[in-house]
Copies of this chain bind each other. A is one copy, B any other.
Amino acid sequence: MPAGDIGRVRRSDAEWLTGLDAWWRAANYLAVGQIYLLDNPLLGEPLVAEHVKPRLLGHWGTVPGLTLTYAHLNRVIRETSANVLFVAGPGHGSAALNAAAWLEGTYSECHPDVARDEEGMRRLFRQFSFPGGVPSHASPHVPGSIHEGGELGYALAHATGAALDKPGLVVACVIGDGEAETGPLAASWQAPAFLDPVEDGQVLPILHLNGYKIANPTVLSRLPREDLRSFVRGHGWEPIEVEGTDPTAVHEAYAAALDECLVRMAEGRRPVVLLRTPKGWTGPALRDGEPVEGTWRSHQVPLPGVRHDPRQLLQLERWLRSYRPDELFDRDGSPAPLVEAHCPEPELRMSANPLAHGWVQRELRLPPVAAHAVDVRAPGGRDAESTRALGRYLRDAMRLNAGRGNLLLFSPDEHASNRLDAVFEVTGRRWRLPTLPGDDHLDPDGRVFEILSEHLCQGWLEGYLLTGGHGLFSSYEAFTHLVDSMVAQHAKWLHMAAEEPWRRPVPSLNYLLTSHVWRQDHNGASHQDPGFIDHILSKRAEITRVYLPPDANCLLHVAEHCLRSRGLVNVIVAGKQSEPQYLDSDAARAHCERGLGLWEWASTDHEGGTDVVLACAGDVPTQETVAAVHVLRELVPDLRIRVVNVVDLTRLPVPHRHPHGMSDRDYTAVFTSDTPVIFAFHGYPWLIHELTYNRPNHDHVHVRGFSENGGTTTPFDMCVLNAIDRFHLALAALERIPRVADRLGTLRQRLLHHLDRHHDHIRRTGEDLPEIRDWRWVG
């Protein structure tokens, strides 16, 4: 729908209300049926205990507000042909969403075994919160949903992300007043500072104030009315209020309110609906004399004793019949014409919006990596800042996709600090608030989003990806833990979505973790935490990838691979500091494609066996490992050392743990079956043990990584503190090589002498020896 049409609402005769109310009743009936019924879906016979599920699960309280809103949006769609995406914050009200999709026919199209007839209705009911069935949350099985709602707080951020680059789209976002207490949701109200009223879609928040959470009232519902209005106005939203307990009056008010919203949105204003209707509205008023409707008691199952208590069974039957199912469904169980008529045209159904199912994707054009490669003539022949090379690559990717609305970057105020600032040559930082002289690359249409909220960066990006866009989230490594729970939920979503054939895989969620643990020497302990990759690897292996490119050209190849991929969570860890470069573009491509491999040029075990394997993963560990080879050769010239570099961490485990896992044969060909392996690792050392504990030579694997030893010091001292520096690595190797055992005491002395020199220098100057940045420096 062209944006200019939004306001031109043609509210027709009074029939709209009859049809709307019937649709609402039908959806409510279907929701109650899902919570309670195993059988007798149309109440063709009197309800008996055997028709009721033995275990009653589900969340009724939020349902009538969701169905009401869905019904009213359908009216708007029918009258204006608006393109609307529906985001249900109270995802645990998915009985409402299943019902809506079933009424619209989409449910049966996606799940043919659940047809739009009596048997289909029976199955719709039975499967809900039933073993082997569907959960009570708006999981990927729900047509039209891009939002689960199991973990609360992300509805408005997802809605905002979904609106980006979708001119003309309306993203209607129901926010529960419980969810509204969360941090991520509270921050999400800042969206108007970033949303483009023309090039992005409209976000229409509908704050449903039904008053209660599980057991408590909600904060926002009990604020003085004027305070709540004041609160939402603060970020530029315009409150429009709807309140009531009488359905007809509420229908009239809600319809008028949505019409007013459309008018204002067409004017570029930001309406928000404050909807006050009772929790569990139209459900049982009382249970055993205690109020249920309109209280926290209606949160889940209002009549929990139906199966054993004949009075509650009777209450349930009355409740179901209060929706007058005979008017709503034909004898075969399909929606009656009265209900059917309130459904939008098939292509306008919210439950069938192709944006929600990954069907609208504009292919990402990517520049050739080779053209952006750092010129590396010989391993270590030059230094470079890896992320700066990536910045140039992203700049050209932005250029190639100009006007295509398919690529956005997100970061908590760190693109320049992370040295990706080349992108500012072609686009700016999105900013819709006033500007001042001296502001740096602010742009009302910028394609770079910076807000000091990892939650919003993540939530916006998720919403954008789930509706077909491509993107990258760059962040300080330590602070990505802020979104641990969000990425866990997204990974679960991707995994479940892959099981629904009517959903297409969406572009992957790509992280660039820079400002990483080894270079947070100056910021101290609070900035030193490499554990995000541990967290990622605890999620489904089908979905999760972790890359540790050792230099710029590897970073470029990995980034290209991640940006092209779909359906994954890709984590790339790469430093922003100037550091040695090892591989030219071709070598980097081959190395990244293998995922891990022997570095011949750094190894000395070309003949006659291997004394020790020095393995490394991560840029700083790689630098120290290659340096350790030089240290070792200086000390014991005839040592046969093999250097193995790991880019793709998921090559390490066995194949049944991860699809990238190597066979034991391939693994042994690289790591050997009995040679000591000194593994210098970017993250917590136990992650390597966890990934390799059942490999043949695991007893010989000795891992050095970050062991929570940090503080305010120098980059090289960070390595020393965690014994991952070249001297400690060399010592660890020597200690495990039998043929140098007789000289070990002397060798150790020489290594400790180098460490002493290092300490002295730092104590005197506050800096590392400049030579230390050269991996050929041997002390």
Contact = CB atoms under 8 A, between A and B. Distances in A.
Contact of A151 (B429, B482, B538): B482
A649 to B, nearest CB: 14
B295 A438 contact: yes
A193 B222 CA distance: 9
A153 B481 CA distance: 13
Contacts of A185: 183, 187
Interface in A14-69: 38, 53-55, 57
Contact of A230 (B184, B234, B442): B234
Contact of A689 (B228, B435, B689, B712): B689
Nearest to A530: B538
A762 interface: yes
A690 B687 CA distance: 7
Contacts of A766: 38, 53-55, 130-131
A624 interface: no
Interface stretch (A1-9, A411-419, A723-731, A742-750): A411-419
A714 B131 contact: yes
A488 B184 CA distance: 19
A129 B527 CA distance: 13
A132 to B, nearest CB: 7
Given A55-B767, A690-B690, A708-B540, A526 B137 contact: yes
A494 to B, nearest CB: 11
Interface residues of A, number: 120
A684 B538 contact: yes
Contact of A717 (B131, B450, B495, B713): B131
Given A216-B429, A230-B230, A489 B54 contact: no
Interface string A710-721: 011110010000
Interface in A53-103: 53-55, 57
B713 A131 contact: yes
A186 interface: yes
Contacts of A151: 478-479, 482, 526
Nearest to A491: B708
A456 interface: yes
Interface string A211-227: 00111111100110001
A593 interface: no
29 contacts: A54-B766, A129-B712, A130-B712, A135-B526, A135-B711, A137-B524, A139-B524, A150-B523, A152-B452, A181-B190, A183-B183, A183-B186, A185-B187, A186-B187, A214-B413, A215-B429, A215-B450, A216-B413, A216-B442, A219-B433, A219-B451, A227-B236, A230-B231, A231-B231, A234-B234, A290-B438, A484-B535, A534-B538, A535-B535
- Considering the complex of A and B, which 6 residue pairs feature the smallest CB-CB distances, nearest first? A231-B234, A150-B526, A135-B524, A183-B183, A481-B485, A186-B186
